[in-house]
Amino acid sequence: MAWVLRLFFYGVLVRLVVLFVLGLNVRHRERLPVKGPAILAANHNSHLDAMAMISLLPLRLLSKVRPVAAADYFLSNPLLAWFALKVVGIVPLNRQRRTPEEDLLAPVVDALDRGEILVFFPEGSRGEPEQLAEFKSGLARIAERRPDVPVIPVYTHGLGKALPKGEWMIVPFFVDIFVGETLVFDGDRAAYMERYRSAMAALALEEKHADWS
C-alpha cells in the first residue's frame, strides 16, 4: 500500500510540481548515477531540494532512492513520521547524540550497504534561502567509511526562492541543477571536504545568478 502511495507521490505529484510548476534546467545530467550505492551531495535551501533531485532519476530506481533527513524534524509527530518514512522514504538521521557512543551515521552506512542512492545535504539544514552555509564534515566521515561509494556534488539554484524555509506556498521559478564530477576519497577528511567545497563553488559559477534579497 505504502509503495503505491510512494509511486504516486514521486511519479505524479512531485514530478508535476518539479517539472511543470517549477521546471528544471539540468547541466551534466550524464554524471548522475545509474545504479546504487551512490550519494548525491547537494546544497540545501528548501524541502523541494530532495524532490527535485529525485525527479532527475528514472522511476525504476525509485525503490533504491532515499533522501537523508533530520530525525528530530521529520519524526517529531506520528503523522509526519509516517509520511516521511513510508511515502517520502527518508533515511532518518539524528543530528545530536543521545548517548556518547551512538553511531549517528550508522543508518546512512547501512543504507549504502543495501545499495541505495542517497540524497545528502552536507550543510545539515536549509538555512537562509539561496545562501550557502558551512558544509559540515559528515559527508567526509561517510566517505571515509565507504570509500568505494561514488559521491556526486550537485549544485541547485532557485528552489529556495520557490519554497524557502518557513513558507508553505510554492511560487514558480525555473531551477538550475548542475551535476558535478564524482569525488574519490583519498584518506584525508579535511582535504576531501575542501575538494567538495571547490567543486560546488565551480558549479555555482557555471551560471550568473541574480542576488535574491
Tell whether residue 212 is a contact of another protein (CB under 8 A). yes
- Report which residue type is found at 92: P
C-alpha cell at 97: 547524540
Strand blocks (E) in 45-150: 65-70, 91-93, 117-120
Task: Please report whether residue 52 would count as binding another protein according to CB under 8 A.
Answer: no
CB of 162 to another protein, least distance (A): 9
Compute the least distance from the CB of residue 134 to another protein, in Å: 22
Confirm or reject binding of residue 174 to another protein (CB under 8 A): yes
Nearer to another protein, 8 or 212 (CB): 212
Select the residue interacting with another protein from 119, 158, 180, 199 (CB under 8 A). 158
**Least distance from C-beta 79 to another protein, angstroms?**
27
* Residue 148: DSSP 8-state: T
Beta bridge partners of 39: 118, 151
CA atoms within 13 A on the CB side of 140: 15
CB of 206 to another protein, least distance (A): 12
Which residues, numbered 7-26, are part of the site for another protein (CB under 8 A)? 23, 25
Q: Does 171 bind another protein (CB under 8 A)?
A: yes
Full strand arrangement of the beta sheet holding 24-27:
24-27, 175-179, 151-157, 38-42, 117-120, 65-70, 91-93
* CB-CB contact of 55 with 120 (8 Å): no
- Tell me the three cell numbers of residue 79: 503523522
CA–CA–CA angle 102, 68, 63 (5° rounding): 120
Q: How far is the CB of 212 from another protein (least distance, A)?
A: 6
Mapping DSSP to helix (H, G, I), strand (E, B) and coil, where does residue 190 land? Answer: helix
Please provide the DSSP assignment of 62-91 as one string.
GGGEEEEEEHHHHTSSHHHHHIIIIII--E
Least Å from the CB of residue 157 to another protein = 10
Indicate whether 147 belongs to the interface with another protein (CB under 8 A): no
Instruction: Considering only the stretches 4-12, 39-47, 74-82, 160-168, report the one whose residues sit in contact with another protein under the rule CB under 8 A.
Output: 160-168
Out of 103, 172, 184, 201, name the contact with another protein by CB under 8 A.
172
**Does 66 help bind another protein (rule: CB under 8 A)?**
no
32 binds another protein (CB under 8 A): no
Which positions touch another protein (CB under 8 A)? Answer: 23, 25, 129, 158, 161, 164, 167, 169, 171-174, 207-208, 210-213
